[in-house]
Amino acid sequence: MENQLKSALAAGQRQCGIWMSLTSPMVAEIVSDAGFDWILVDCEHAPNDLSSLRDQLQAMRGSASSILARPPWNDMVLIKQFMDAGVQNFIIPYIQNTDEARDAVAATRYPPEGVRGVAGGSRASNFGRNQAYLRESNDAVTVIVQVETMEAMADLEAIAQVPGVDGVFIGPADLSASMGHLGDIEHADVQKAIREAAERLAAVGVPSCTLAFDPAVGQRYIDYGYQMVCIGSDQSCLMGGLAKLHTTFMDKG
């Protein structure tokens, strides 16, 4: 099984992507052909469930973009269900320490490397038609763990180097809250922590990832050294396009 995201991260290639939270298969279909390196379906802070995730995966089938999902929690059962539905790439939220990082990795692997339950006829294996799936899946999954508190930041290098972790995602919003600057991602101390996280991850050779819904902020994070950056979302693109249209045609008096 080929995993272009996993290979790109390992090769040090920059990956720019789009976040999806509108839960719409039609939006997913439109985004899937837009040409971004990756697309993430958010099931933590968007009203997605397993069924809506599956519908969007179906809508994006054949896309040249790598497809990721973020489950609502670092939960073995949820991760198993996501994988059976066809998810190959994950951002796992709220990883606080190395034990939780190891749990996230184990949830994505069949025994003896992990604890994932075995289903012979899942969508992931093309309903059992892909006879190689069970033996190839362990090596073809991408696990990016999300670090988003000061507690986790203190253990950043150790979390990053847990075997099976392919990258570390720094969550700016929750990090700002953890630092006492709720809603103020642009605070100098928060930005300093975000910048230093990229430097610390580079020092141990682990890809750094983060998100911004403003392209200018996304470019700043790339300049900080982040390898994988969200540069917009389905929601931000819709709202931005509507605002621009309104300014052009409705604000002329």
Domain edges within the chain: 4-249
Residue 251 has pLDDT above 80, yes or no: no
> What integer is the mean pLDDT of 167-191?
98
Residue 76 has pLDDT above 90, yes or no: yes
Beta strand 228-233 pairing with 142-147: unpaired
> Phi first, then psi: what are they for 195, rounded to 5°?
-65, -45
The residue from 45, 181, 187, 246 that is catalytic is 45
Q: Is 246 a catalytic residue?
A: no
Residue 253 has pLDDT above 70, yes or no: no
DSSP sequence for 168-211: EEE-HHHHHHHTT-TT-TTSHHHHHHHHHHHHHHHHTT--EEEE
* Residue 186 binned pLDDT confidence (cut-offs 50, 70, 90): very high
Q: In Å, how far are 240, 244, 246, 247, 249 from 253, measured between CA atoms?
A: 21, 16, 12, 11, 9
- Looking at the domain 4-249, which fold is it? TIM Barrel (3.20.20)
Please check whether residue 153 is in contact with residue 194, taking contact to mean a CB–CB distance below 8 angstroms: no
Residues 163, 245: Cα–Cα separation, whole Å: 48
- At 27-72, the pLDDT tens digits run 999 999 999 999 999 999 999 999 999 999 999 999 999 999 999 9
Indicate left, alpha or beta for 7 from its phi (over 0: left) and psi (-120 to 50: alpha): alpha
Residue 252 has pLDDT above 80, yes or no: no
Please check whether residue 86 is in contact with residue 63, taking contact to mean a CB–CB distance below 8 angstroms: no
- Residues with Cβ within 8 Å of 245's Cβ and at least 6 positions away in sequence, in order, are none
Residue 195 has pLDDT above 90, yes or no: yes
Predicted confidence at residue 85, as pLDDT, reads 98
Predicted confidence at residue 116, as pLDDT, reads 98
- At 100-141, the pLDDT tens digits run 999 999 999 999 999 999 999 999 999 999 999 999 999 999
Residues 225, 240: Cα–Cα separation, whole Å: 26
